[in-house]
Amino acid sequence: MIRQYELIDKILKYNEKADIALINRAYVYSMKAHGNQKRASGEPYLTHPLEVASILADLQMDEATVCTGLLHDTLEDTLTTYDELKEIFSEEIADLTEGVTKLSRINFNNKSVEQAENFRKLFMAMTKDIRVLLVKLSDRLHNMRTIDHMKKETSKLRVAKETIDIFAPLADRIGLYAVKVELEDLAFRTLNRDEYDKIEERKTFLRQQDDLISRVESELQSELEEHKIEARVSGREKTIYSIYNKMVKKNLTFDQLTDIVAYRIILDDKAKCYEVLGLIHNLYKAIPGRFKDYISNAKPNGYQSLHTSVIGPYGQRIEIQIRTQEMHDVSEYGVAAHWLYKQSSGNINPSSYRWVKELKEILQTTEDPEEFLENTKMDLFSDEVFVFTPKGDLITLPYGATPLDFAYNVHSDVGNKTHSAKINGRIVPLKTRLNNGDQVEIVTRKGQVPNPGWREMVTTAKARSAINRYLRAQELDAQIKLGREILEKAMRRDGYSWVEKDLQKVADAQKLQGIDDVFAGIAQGRLFPRQVVAVLFPEVAEAKEREERAKADTPATTSTGGAAQRLSQMDDENAIGIDGLVSGLAVQIAGCCTPLPGEPIVGIINTGKGVNIHAKNCKNLEQFAEDPDRWLPVKWREKDPEGGKGKAFVARMRLTLTHAPGVLSSVTTAIFNVEGNIVDLHIESRGTDSYDMRCDVEVQDLDHFNRMLTALRNLKCIINVERLQG
């Protein structure tokens, strides 16, 4: 148990100017108010508010919040009134204490009007001052630390379940990682003690048998010191609950896990984070697809760090996180860390948190407290969204759903005829994501029909199935027309005389239903004109085959260097903006040349796989020179000037850089300034004065990529930069 003077010492360490008299007054008041009350453990009740205040001090909270920790149970468990707290302390402390009291009174299994109204009032207070939530989380954390003293097993399980379902996700929402993981582990220990003990036993055994963590720490620290980089390296084992979750989700045993430890490198400067990242990738083999830049693209709760996974110094796969001390504090303490770095008066503006904004919107549009309770709980703790029809009916949709999902949920005819949508009375784009509590109105129009781009705007299987069903019916005529044109062109070029009814022989040979299926198969790349010739004119086809065999001893083959394996599968031509294709064809961007919007392209029909899109200057096109039937004239669609950012395309470049401090930081900053995004980078070679680095970036089009190249070439540290294709 912490003592009063120890609490004061803890506060003075981070706030020398703290109002100690105010905190002592709150301590004395709490002691008198709770009197002889006891906890389930038999200890004086005062031990609980003292421990809660201590947790808040660990988070380096202001005096008002620490005082609230000392007083948080007085309104509920003693004769204290709100007016009394306001008079003795302040309106601020009285409001905070009342907010915590309202949350403490809520039974999350009880949806009565009274409880729902309490929950609604609590969040109205919380959107004004998020410290209410910080005090309640500290209160729950200490209760979980002492949960073994609860006598009823059913009560323990209820509290633990409530903690893992509600309070741990709340802590995660505001970035309180340290609180979140402790709540999860304590709750898991109560809910599944056998599994908890097994994992803890295995972790203890490995810790005693293997000093891998200290060895990896030492090697990383030595490498950094050798490059004259000041940093702090540490390894941290994953929590028991996170290990259990991974074992369950991936169906693994404990011994099959390879990343139970994450290593952190803490630096004093953001630019050095990128420099160290380059050093790590040069020292160890990076695992593809395991690099995340949360510095340039911070998480909604403010989390920032660089994440990469490599094959470490002892041949084991390890995860490394690179961040500054400030980023580390935010990752551990989330919103509470702002008191330390912003030196504020103790008030954090919660409006910067998206989920708090959404709660405000629900507060403004929802009158029924029961309705608010249900929707707010779902907003915080579920992957679903709950929205309303204009008549007030509630509809449940998956997270990420749009007005089109809503329309198709009502009826497929409503979805097919959707012209526009209104959310809360305002017209919005059909691709707008719905939030909890939204009221959605669909505007239909006669003659409106779905288009292929709608498939990119929906998340529900019901909506996507209805759109595909309609488009397939509409696309068949277009495919038949294109297939007929392709076949007529080929037959005319080679001088064949034919009549359409003869194609039934081709349909029978290919086990198709009719002539239209033959045309559609040609348009889709499943059939080729030469296969039609082989059926209609077998003698000619055999003669031509003998002639071709005579020209060469062996069939000519051309290697694409594994380019086919690097093809990036796209959804359809509308998703990537290409004109000249028939809707419904699978479209692939060729990895050998990775064409970008704005440069000339050509489509190559790939049997059974749709169409591959190549740059017109791609060297691999030579292998199709004698097969003109497979070529399709295509072009990039004109960009909509008001369409915002389109789909991102990956371009690869090689940079030759000088050896100098801060080089990598300059490169990443230049890319960031032109709105590019690094998806992968790798040091290819290193010389005495320079080194080569391969970098994959996401860009919008060729013009965007060229602007990026120009920005990089203007850097003094860049010797050369070029685009890589193939």
Within this chain, do residues 610 and 475 fall inside the same structural domain, yes or no? no
Q: Which of the given ranges, 483-492, 545-554, 567-576, has the highest pLDDT on average? A: 483-492
Q: Given its phi and psi angles, is residue 445 left (phi above 0), alpha (psi -120 to 50 degrees) or beta?
A: beta
pLDDT at 576: 60
pLDDT grade, residue 112 (50/70/90)? very low
**Pair (213, 281) in one structural domain:** yes
Q: How far apart are CA 196 and CA 198, in angstroms?
A: 6
Q: 101-105, 124-128, 462-466, 474-478: lowest mean pLDDT where? A: 124-128
Residues 373-387 pLDDT 10s: 444 444 444 456 767
Instruction: Give the number of other CB atoms < 10 A from CB of residue 710.
Output: 12
Residue 580's SS3 state is coil
pLDDT value, residue 527 = 81
Domain boundary among 613, 636, 659: 636
Using a 10 angstrom Cβ sphere, with 0-12 exposed, 13-18 middle and 19 or more buried, the burial of residue 35 is exposed
Is the domain of 35 the same as that of 175? yes
Say which CATH number the domain at 699 has.
Answer: 3.30.70.260
Residue 574: predicted pLDDT: 45
pLDDT of residue 622: 83
125, 161: one domain: yes
Q: What is the full DSSP assignment across 522-570?
A: HHTTSS-HHHHHHHH-HHHHHHHHHHHHHH-SS------TTGGGG-EE-
pLDDT of residue 346: 42
CA–CA separation, 420 vs 437, rounded Å? 20
Query: What is the domain-level CATH number for residue 418?
Result: 3.10.20.30
Predicted confidence band of residue 680 (pLDDT cuts 50, 70, 90)? confident
> How remote is the C-alpha of 465 from its chain's centroid?
25
The CA distance from 104 to 167, in Å, is 12
Q: How confident is the model at residue 470 (pLDDT cuts 50, 70, 90)?
A: confident
Q: State the average pLDDT over residues 50-79.
A: 92
Please check whether residues 568 and 545 belong to one and the same domain.
no
How many angstroms separate the CA atoms of 237 and 264, rounded?
Answer: 11
- Asked, for residue 238, whether it belongs to a domain, the answer is yes
pLDDT tens digit sequence for 243-287:
888 888 878 777 767 667 789 999 998 999 999 999 999 888 888
Write down which residue in 191, 226, 244 finishes a domain: 191
HEC letters along 620-649: HHHHHCCCHHHEECCEECCCCCCCCCCCCE
- A 10 A CB-CB count for 601 gives 23
Q: What are phi and psi of 318, to 5 degrees?
A: -130, 150
Catalytic residue, from 6, 16, 51, 76: name it: 76
- Residues 215, 157, single domain; the answer is no
Closest CA to 323 of 304, 340, 342, 310: 304
Closest by CA to 457, choosing from 491, 418, 488, 424, is 418
Top-confidence residue, 72 or 215: 72
* Same domain? 407 vs 546: no
Based on the fold, state whether residues 368 and 288 are members of the same structural domain. no
| Domain that residue 212 falls in | 208-342
Choosing from 342, 368, 395, the residue where a domain stops is: 342
Residue 60 lies in a domain: yes
Q: Tell me how many domains the chain contains.
A: 6
**For the segment 488-523, what is each residue's pLDDT rounded down to a tens digit?**
888 888 788 888 888 898 888 888 888 888 888 887
Residues 303 and 231 both lie in one domain: yes
Q: Is residue 401 a part of any domain in this protein?
A: yes
Do 287 and 181 belong together in one domain?
no
Question: Averaging pLDDT over each range in 95-109, 420-434, 520-534, which range is the top one?
Answer: 420-434
Q: Give the highest mean pLDDT range of 336-350, 421-435, 452-466.
A: 421-435
Assigned domain for 398 exists: yes
Identify the bridge partners of residue 423 per DSSP, sorted by sequence position. 426, 440
Q: Which neighbouring-strand residues pair with 319?
A: 262, 309
Q: Assign 549 a pLDDT band (cuts: 50, 70, 90).
A: low
Tell whether 29 and 136 lie within a shared domain.
Answer: yes
- Tell me how far apart the alpha carbons of residues 388 and 423 are, in angstroms, rounded to a whole number: 10
Instruction: Find the catalytic residue in 19, 58, 77, 368.
Output: 77
Q: What is the DSSP string of 158-216?
A: HHHHHIIIIIHHHHHHTT-HHHHHHHHHHHHHHH-HHHHHHHHHHHHHHHHH--HHHHH
Does some domain include residue 199? no
100 domain residue, yes or no: yes
77 classed as catalytic: yes
Question: What tokens does 84 get?
Answer: 């009394």
Indicate whether 463 belongs to any domain. Answer: no
Tell me, what CATH number does 338's domain have? 3.30.460.10
Strand partners, 395: 387
**Residue 265 located in a structural domain:** yes
DSSP per position, 358-414: HHHHHHHH---HHHHHHHHHHHHH-SEEEEE-TT--EEEEETT--HHHHHHHH-HHH
Residue with the larger pLDDT of the pair 639 and 296: 296
Q: Are residues 95 and 124 in the same domain?
A: yes
638's CB contacts (< 8 A; 6+ apart) are: none
Q: Write the CATH number for 38.
A: 1.10.3210.10
